[in-house]
Amino acid sequence: MGIRAILSSHLPNGQFGRHSLCLAAVGREHKKLPTLYFDIYRFSKQFPPLLLSIFGLSASDLCSFSFLFNLSLKIMKLDTSGLESAASLFGASSELFDGFATAPSFELPVTNDFDGFQKEAIQMVKPAKGTTTLAFIFKEGVMVAADSRASMGGYISSQSVKKIIEINPYMLGTMAGGAADCQFWHRNLGIKCRLHELANKRRISVTGASKLLANILYSYRGMGLSVGTMIAGWDETGPGLYYVDSEGGRLKGTRFSVGSGSPYAYGVLDSGYRYDLSIEEAAELARRAIYHATFRDGASGGVASVYYVGPNGWKKLSGDDVGELHYKYYPVMPSTVEQEMVEVSGA
């Protein structure tokens, strides 16, 4: 039982029940173990010196204890490297011990009601997907557009946020939700894409990139990340567009809009969409959809940026202030009262 005490000092507070690394004693004579545990037992028997150093036990203790590694496969291993394969748990000795010695963990706050605390934290971040972003695939490639307003509740914190993130010269990501989360994880995805390119001597596909991001976000599910992003790019199979969110969802599609202004943007986008738009027409459609969303949604505004992703990579097409766009679409007309007065005086 002393082993539990040793272990609990290695694990984050209050997590002992959940991440269960329990060691129980199984005698050398108990041959009838489930294969899983017996493998670990046999495995551990081969490396007594290493085990001893970790647990600070003496050789005689080892002989009398037996070890049952209850490494639950639902252990929440934070997936910090999307390129690592799901190798079996009982691989080379170094893999198992590395995983144990440097188990990813962070200090959790001590509260009476941890689950309630988690829910509150998520609720705090959730409604803040105050933004409008959209992307659609058409004949010539992918069109991506977004507004640029950042809001903290009712306070507009910035009118000039870059919500279209350049992952690499041929892939774009959009930002909706937590700005820091989106920026960091897109940057991280860019790193992984580049490593994939270097290792495999070929660019990663949009499918692969979106899957890497989705797997990372899934492994942080329930921890309060807020990300609603679209990955748009051009790869060997042509234009690609995926929607990925912090719930771990990933959808392939031709038209997406994300954010609090998305219903308004969808209205304009869906009614004006045709597959065989030209680049200018598609850009105008995207711009108009963002404008209409910023007109009605208080959490969207600023500048409507429009990007185009084609076979040679992405290119920024325009960035127009939505206030100016308003007067472009609805120029000021002289009011009817003035006109009547003019007619009366003329008669």
The reply to whether 236 sits near another protein by the rule CB under 8 A is: yes
CA-wise closest residue to 162 among 3, 332, 334, 305: 305
**Residue 310 has which token pair?**
């084609």
The reply to whether 87 sits near another protein by the rule CB under 8 A is: yes
Q: CB of residue 236 vs another protein: minimum separation in angstroms?
A: 7
Q: CB of residue 98 vs another protein: minimum separation in angstroms?
A: 11
Question: Under a CB-based contact definition with an 8 Å cutoff, are residues 296 and 147 in contact?
Answer: no
- When the beta carbons of 183 and 215 are compared against another protein, the nearer one is 215
- When the beta carbons of 16 and 43 are compared against another protein, the nearer one is 43
Question: Under a CB-based contact definition with an 8 Å cutoff, are residues 312 and 322 in contact?
Answer: no
- Which window, 31-39, 201-209, 284-292, 299-307, contacts another protein (CB under 8 A)? 201-209
Q: CB of residue 47 vs another protein: minimum separation in angstroms?
A: 6
CA-wise closest residue to 186 among 211, 205, 213: 213
The reply to whether 204 sits near another protein by the rule CB under 8 A is: yes
Alpha-carbon distance of 273 to 198, in angstroms, equals 38
The reply to whether 94 sits near another protein by the rule CB under 8 A is: yes
Residues near 4 by Cβ (< 8 Å), separated by ≥ 6?
16, 22, 23
Question: Under a CB-based contact definition with an 8 Å cutoff, are residues 210 and 231 in contact?
Answer: yes
Q: CB of residue 39 vs another protein: minimum separation in angstroms?
A: 12
| Cβ atoms within 10 Å of 86's Cβ, excluding its own | 5
From 71, 212, 227, 282, residue interacting with another protein (rule: CB under 8 A): 212
Binding pattern for the stretch 8-47 against another protein, x by CB under 8 A and - elsewhere:
--------------------------------------xx
Count residues binding another protein (CB under 8 A). Answer: 23
From 53, 70, 157, 200, residue interacting with another protein (rule: CB under 8 A): 200
The reply to whether 102 sits near another protein by the rule CB under 8 A is: no
Task: Kindly calculate the radius of gyration of the chain based on its CA atoms and give it in whole angstroms.
Answer: 28
Task: Please name the amino acid found at residue 87.
Answer: A
Q: CB of residue 204 vs another protein: minimum separation in angstroms?
A: 7
The reply to whether 211 sits near another protein by the rule CB under 8 A is: yes
The reply to whether 93 sits near another protein by the rule CB under 8 A is: yes
Q: CB of residue 73 vs another protein: minimum separation in angstroms?
A: 15
Set 131, 133, 229, 294: catalytic member: 131
- When the beta carbons of 200 and 339 are compared against another protein, the nearer one is 200
The reply to whether 215 sits near another protein by the rule CB under 8 A is: yes
Name the maximum alpha-carbon separation found in the chain: 117
Q: In degrees rounded to 5, what are phi and psi of residue 230?
A: -120, 135
The reply to whether 77 sits near another protein by the rule CB under 8 A is: no
- When the beta carbons of 47 and 329 are compared against another protein, the nearer one is 47
**Full DSSP string of 45-109:** HH-HHHHHHHHT--HHHHHH--------TT-------TTS----TTSSHHHHHHHHHT----PPP
From 44, 105, 207, 318, residue interacting with another protein (rule: CB under 8 A): 207
What stretch of H or E contains 214?
A: helix 206-219
The reply to whether 276 sits near another protein by the rule CB under 8 A is: no
Half-sphere exposure of 182 toward its Cβ, with a 13 Å CA cutoff? Answer: 26
The reply to whether 258 sits near another protein by the rule CB under 8 A is: no
Q: CB of residue 88 vs another protein: minimum separation in angstroms?
A: 7
CA-wise closest residue to 128 among 228, 216, 223: 228
Q: Is 336 a catalytic residue?
A: no
**Full DSSP string of 290-341:** HHHHHHH-TT--SEEEEEEEETTEEEEEEEEEHHHHHHHHS-----HHHHHH
Alpha-carbon distance of 146 to 7, in angstroms, equals 49
Q: Could you give the residue numbers annotated as active site?
A: 131
Contact footprint for another protein (CB under 8 A): 46-47, 50, 82, 85-88, 91-94, 196, 200, 202, 204-205, 207-208, 211-212, 215, 236
